[in-house]
Structure 1
């Protein structure tokens, strides 16, 4: 594509977007699993150990989900850009 006049970013952009999307999806799946597991553990603690105070899931997961999803997306984008620099010398 470089021979027909494509710019460097025109070649690299689809791979960068793919890294972003894979990082986003790759972080959303564990966050959903963590949310489900936390709810089961909190329910078990409420029933079996009622004197132990536990923070409800929405309080914990508002901040945690945003942080983990953002971090996963950034890591996906960085990994994509590093591999683009290494393997696509355009």
Structure 2
């Protein structure tokens, strides 16, 4: 079990297509402090050719994509199917 398994479990239980959590909420959920790297958008979003980190796998396994808002210290988790559909229609 990874550090982010409790977050993945919470996301799986969500009925809504999106949920916004503060960094502090996430720290409470995972029972630990987020790394300093979490202050960069790339920590939350997997690069297309980059390695999948434990947090990326947790979001993806739960069926969500992370949309970080670093200044607000919040993350909007959107169901992957909805996020993909939004990207398909925007361009």
TM-score range, shorter chain: under 0.3
The structure, 1 or 2, with the larger RCO (C-alpha pairs under 8 Å, 6+ apart) is: 1
More strand per residue = 2
User: Please, what TM-score do these two structures have when normalized by structure 2?
Assistant: 0.22
User: Please, what TM-score do these two structures have when normalized by structure 1?
Assistant: 0.22
Q: Which has the larger radius of gyration?
A: 1
More helix per residue = 1
